[in-house]
Amino acid sequence: MSHGHSHGGGGCRCAAEREEPPEQRGLAYGLYLRIDLERLQCLNESREGSGRGVFKPWEERTDRSKFVESDADEELLFNIPFTGNVKLKGIIIMGEDDDSHPSEMRLYKNIPQMSFDDTEREPDQTFSLNRDLTGELEYATKISRFSNVYHLSIHISKNFGADTTKVFYIGLRGEWTELRRHEVTICNYEASANPADHRVQQPGSPTRFRVPYRWPGYFRQRDGWVPGTRTEVPAGAAEGEECVSVAERGELPERSRKPQGARPSLQGALQCMCGNTMSVPLLTDAATVSGAERETAAVIFLHGLGDTGHSWADALSTIRLPHVKYICPHAPRIPVTLNMKMVMPSWFDLMGLSPDAPEDEAGIKKAAENIKALIEHEMKNGIPANRIVLGGFSQGGALSLYTALTCPHPLAGIVALSCWLPLHRNFPQAANGSAKDLAILQCHGELDPMVPVRFGALTAEKLRSVVTPAKVQFKTYPGVMHSSCPQEMAAVKEFLEKLLPPV
């Protein structure tokens, strides 16, 4: 086959020849972080779910405990959805030192849910593979064909003669850009909330949702929403404008636009000038879900890395309590070391995800002060500290833990989802005395590949040394990855009902 075909070793080069030093090479092959693993498919795998395990850090490529082997014959087909648009530059395929090593790889872009029948079509590029036992041979793609990829299919069509094919590692090198999210409603956060301005219409039936595994974004996915069907930015939209839509099940009402830099209300502007250290966007653009009755309590919920508050405002609206106001601020956009210094919404910088990774102590403390200012803002508006719950998912959950434990005000509790405790070595000494009585609900997916559940267990153990041990609940959910699930959201609702009863 001539189309996009690379014969023999002509299409590959040793990864060691790359310009990056060895310690930076892992970052170069970091696109595995951009895969929506929950939706990844591997067809003809002998062990269900094993195909996901070969997309792992470059430093772990020689870990032979994780591999995928074909079942009925030598073919494997990977359907790989990304969490944004990818410019794919190179691929590494590492196999066994025998005839089960792949000998041919065919690439297809942007064909979700490919089947083996679909592999009869012409691929976008084909490679003849050499045996690679160390994960050092990279096959360079034709960037002109792979510059706007939201879904990649890898067809392993042949091996060197064995009945089955075995793969230990697939490394992807390239660039990632965030998909714009338009199906949101932007609400102004004012010094005195007007329920008429902030009311979120309760759907007639509960909205099914999930927060998919993704790094960095954790966007809510609705029925009928698939990659490629998002609302496009209207022609002629000015730079800095965002399309506002309340799309539901693919039915798009008439669009309107709201400038991202919209001026806050006079009251809100005055509040921002009254000495708090929070940036104006955190106050003015927070996504909110107002109570249907007089609001006597508040939940401040912080999203994960790369997301916005809108996703969690949507999710929380499905478990809303009539007397509770939900406030979901947006993180500032900053360069993130873990993600190759790409600029994205992040509460603080991240250098790694292990308990021993270096931490952005100054950034964590600054972000915590900003959230404490938002807590004090609610207190000035009549909601006492013991009627405020702080919560978050992933990085947002981490910040909620640190903020609540160091807050001088006695909050009602914390909802900590799929997260960890930042600067954990500083505790219990760093905790404020009022933290002793905090109620904490900590939830974690047992298959979380980003923040492993064992980190959650270590966090729960540490928290029990800081607060009254009986007040820490640690719930895990089988089969759940770095995401939420209906059972978890039901637990959150039950926790809030007990902690914030009507008054």
Domain holding 426: CATH number? 3.40.50.1820
For the segment 13-39, the average pLDDT, to the nearest whole number, is: 68
427 in the same domain as 308: yes
- Residue 230 carries which side chain, given as an amino acid letter? R
Q: Is the bond preceding 253 in cis, omega lying within 30 degrees of 0?
A: no
Strands (E), 61-148: 68-69, 76-95, 102-109, 125-128, 137-140
Q: Enter the tokens of residue 255.
A: 């669009």
What CA–CA distance (Å, rounded) separates 219 from 205?
A: 21
| Rounded-to-integer distance, Cα 94 and Cα 130, Å | 9
163 with 210, same domain: the answer is no
Higher pLDDT, 96 or 221: 96
Within-domain flag for 186: no
Question: Is residue 13 included in any domain, yes or no?
Answer: yes
- Same domain? For 200 and 168 the reply is no
Residue 229 domain-assigned?
Answer: no
Q: Which one of 124, 149, 178 terminates a domain?
A: 178
Return the amino acid letter for 364.
I
Q: At what angle do helices 361-380 and 395-406 cross, to 10 degrees?
A: 70
- List the catalytic residues: 394, 448, 482
User: What band does 59 get if pLDDT is binned at 50, 70 and 90?
Assistant: confident
- Torsion angle (degrees, nearest 10) of CA 284, 340, 171, 46: -30
For residue 427, is it within any domain?
A: yes
Q: How confident is the model at residue 177 (pLDDT cuts 50, 70, 90)?
A: confident
pLDDT (mean) for 424-450: 90
Whether residues 162 and 303 fall in one domain: no
159, 72, 81: which is closest to 114 by C-alpha? 81
pLDDT of residue 147: 86
Note whether residue 237 is domain-resident.
no
What is the pTM (predicted TM-score) of this model? 0.51
253 pLDDT band, cuts 50/70/90, is very low
CATH number of the CATH domain containing 153? 2.60.120.470
277 and 358 share a domain?
yes
Q: Which of 5-19, 371-385, 448-462, 487-501 has the lowest mean pLDDT?
A: 5-19
Same domain? 310 vs 336? yes
Domain count within the chain: 2
For residue 260, tell me if it sits in a domain: yes
* 265 has pLDDT over 90: no
Residue 183 placed within a domain: no
Q: 85-99, 183-197, 338-352: which has the minimum mean pLDDT? A: 183-197
Contact 388, 375 (CB under 8 A): yes
User: 365: pLDDT confidence band, cut at 50, 70 and 90?
Assistant: very high
Say yes or no: 11 and 65 in one domain: yes
The residue among 178, 212, 229 that closes a domain is 178
Position 344 scores a pLDDT of 92
Check whether 417 has a pLDDT greater than 60: yes
Residue 419: strand, helix, or coil: coil
Question: pLDDT tens digits, residue range 228-244?
Answer: 223 333 333 333 333 33
User: In 3D, which of 409, 398, 475, 417 has the Cα closest to residue 438?
Assistant: 409
412: containing domain: 195-221+242-499
Query: What's the token pair of residue 202?
Result: 């309760």
